[in-house]
Amino acid sequence: MRYLVLRAAQLVVVVFGVTVVSFVLLHLLPGDVTTTVLGEGASPEAKAALRAELGLDDPLLSRYWEWLTSAMRGDLGDSLTMGYPVTELIRLRLPVTLELAVVTLSASVLLAIPTALVAARFRNRWQDKVLSMGAYAGIAAPPFLAGILLIYVFSVKLGWLPATGWNPWSEGLVAHVRTLVMPVASLLFVEAAIFMRVLRSDLVAQLSDEEYPLVARAKGATMRSVMIRHVLRNSLLPFVTIVGLQFGVLLGGAVIVEHLFALPGLGELLVSSIYQRDATTVQGIVMFIAIAFVLINALVDLLYRFIDPRVKQHG
Amino acid sequence: MSDVVVAIEDLHVAFSTPRGEVRALRGVSLEVRAGRMVCLIGESGSGKSVTGRALMGLLPAHSARIGPGSMRLHQEELLGKSESAMRSIRGRRIAMIFQDPSRALNPTRRIGDQVGEAIKIHFPDRRASAVRAKVLEHLDSVKLPDAARVAKKYPHELSGGMRQRVAIAMALSAEPEVLVADEPTTALDVTTQVQILDLLRSLQRSRDMSVLLITHDMGVAAHYADDVAVMYAGRVVERAPAAELFADVEMPYTQALLESLPSARAGRGALQTIPGGPPDLALGISGCAFAPRCRFVTSQCKQQPVTREVAGDHVFECWHPVGKESR
């Protein structure tokens, strides 16, 4: 109970802080949304009229208060440039980003766990060196580079996959997967490499600092069983933490990949709204991601309790 | 001698370290007979734990060079056995308990699971209910109250003494004939130490098991051992049945260990200590390794002393023995 109260308090503080900062920053940016809506050649009078209509001339504090109070009621306002409600825009864009993030993270985790187990089991031997080198390459290579490479090979040269675009589920599984594969693949290696490095170092620490792996071997257990049944679970806390953090990052930060593959995702919407000074859309997305971040972290905390019985109920 | 269960002969083990090769065991010879408790005693770094782990085949494969020498379980040579062959021996025929019970148990698995693991490994056909019954029986046998409740707990919910009892139940779950106990009470408080050692001895007797009890505490050896083997700088320098040894110590190092026992100096002055420290095993050692700290050292001690035997089974290596029988 105390835990829930603490979490709720955290949620309020984080969301409040993030929205205030983004509101102020957006205000400080030169240029405004009227240029986007009316075009470069619009007369100052027309711009002033639109500004007045949108309420952009009101004091900053009162604008924020107005936004905040309606946000509390679930109304994030209308997009300044598109006229649609921001909640509707998020609802349209979220599935793409969410699917990209979930599929990428699941695939990365599935790739990271076995490679980390092998690397830790054979630490400092050739298996570890090959896998670690691969991981460093994955971390060092930016996703857009992998994306361009993938597009070049699979779209330009082989012609197997569409270079850009997004087929929703409604167009059939195969068509859908064909547009999902390359964006996932270009994010996969970085994510898997990060997870693998984190997990490997904790596995190695368990093996060298703790005695229970040796005790399990003294019972006659194979190294394979020692790694999977004993060491893995004890090394999972930092791992689930970083997976949770990367989930939050991918929700808003897969911008480059969304852009490269022309995916109608949340990150892409966020960046274009910033360019267009579409304050309400930016605010809405920022708040949404902040809430998602806090909720994911709460989920990770909950997972801790399943993984390690020593983690007690506290804030 | 008959009924020898474990025979270690002239065993050498060296570790490659950044400082160069460390010769941890320089020809260890040791016997463990059926149903006996053998105390392997020595200072830190004398090679007692390495001997125990070598017997289990648990030395790190990439840094330890094992051999020449011989380790036999009954007539079966263990040295050079494959990892999979050693796995079928570990836990089933030779089991081990470790020094620190708080690190020996997996913090994220229930006690019952951990005690049942060796049973599942070595008797894969046994049904879950039979494994569970065995687990409870073993938890009972180490005098844990309410075994069924303990089996459901996690290690952090138990005290240090209870954890060591669990570790013993874990080691004995597949009914091994030899138990290697590596300083099993060093991490525990004094009253708990006595309880755990008493438990070990009663289990050893009731199961007619052989125990190699590794300790640095001469008091423990004096109280619990059937046989004693004294290690110094990678060799067993004196070994004998306990009664024989304490009646007639031959090796000056053993004598010095006995004199440093608090009970031996009751009413007398300051605690006796052995001056100096054990030699660096990364450097070559020639002759008697104890010579630099020995009261009776002569120029002869620069040569490795020949192994001598007095009475029955009392073996030692020293040029200047201090006992009655050797004179």
Share above pLDDT 90 across residues of chain B, in percent, rounded to a whole number: 49
Q: Find the angle CA(A119)-CA(A120)-CA(A123) to the nearest 5 degrees.
A: 80
Query: Least CB-CB distance to B121: which of A219, A230, A233?
Result: A219
At B20, is the secondary structure helix, strand, or coil? strand
Half-sphere exposure of A58 (CA within 13 A, CB side): 10
B264 contacts chain A (CB < 8 A): no
Q: Do A218 and B121 touch (CB under 8 A)?
A: no
Q: Do A309 and B154 touch (CB under 8 A)?
A: yes
* CA gap B154, B136 in Å, rounded: 15
For testing contact with chain B, the best of A214, A215, A310 (most B CBs within 10 A): A215
Q: Are B91 and B121 in contact (CB under 8 A)?
A: yes
Size of interface A-B (CB pairs under 8 A): 74
Range with the poorest average pLDDT among A1-10, A287-296, B37-46: A1-10
Q: Do A233 and B108 touch (CB under 8 A)?
A: yes
B91 contacts chain A (CB < 8 A): yes
For residue A315, pLDDT beyond 50 = no
B171 contacts chain A (CB < 8 A): yes
pLDDT of residue B109: 93
Query: Least CB-CB distance to B103: which of A211, A233, A307?
Result: A211
Mutual orientation of helices A236-253 and A266-275 as an angle, nearest 10°? Answer: 50
Give residue-wise pLDDT tens across range B97-135: 998 888 899 999 999 999 999 999 999 999 999 999 999
Q: Identify all chain B residues contacting A310, using CB atoms and an 8 Å cutoff.
A: 107, 154, 156
For residue B265, pLDDT beyond 60 = no
Q: Which CATH superfamily is domain B4-93+176-317 in?
A: P-loop containing nucleotide triphosphate hydrolases (3.40.50.300)
Beta pairing, strands B227-232 & B37-41: parallel
Residue reference for tokens 């793409």: A96
Q: Do A234 and B106 touch (CB under 8 A)?
A: yes
B170 contacts chain A (CB < 8 A): yes
Query: Least CB-CB distance to A308: which of B108, B122, B174?
Result: B108
Give residue-wise pLDDT tens across range A193-247: 999 999 999 999 999 889 999 999 999 999 999 999 999 999 999 999 999 999 9
For residue B315, pLDDT beyond 70 = yes
Give residue-wise pLDDT tens across range A102-158: 999 999 999 999 999 999 999 888 999 999 999 888 888 888 888 888 888 888 888
The amino acid at residue A303 is: L
Task: Dig out the tokens for B18 from the structure.
Answer: 């950044």
pLDDT of residue B117: 94
Give residue-wise pLDDT tens across range B158-217: 988 899 999 999 999 999 999 999 988 888 888 888 888 999 999 999 999 999 999 988
Query: Least CB-CB distance to A310: which of B87, B90, B107?
Result: B107
Q: Do B91 and A218 touch (CB under 8 A)?
A: yes
B90 contacts chain A (CB < 8 A): yes
Query: Least CB-CB distance to A219: which of B109, B117, B156?
Result: B117
Q: Do A308 and B171 touch (CB under 8 A)?
A: no
Give residue-wise pLDDT tens across range B5-43: 999 999 999 998 888 888 999 999 999 999 999 999 988
Judge if the upstream peptide bond of residue B68 is cis by omega within 30 degrees of 0.
Answer: yes
Q: Identify all chain A residues contacting B107, using CB atoms and an 8 Å cutoff.
A: 212, 234, 308-310
Q: Is A133 exposed, middle or buried (0-12, 13-18, 19+ CB in 10 A)?
A: exposed
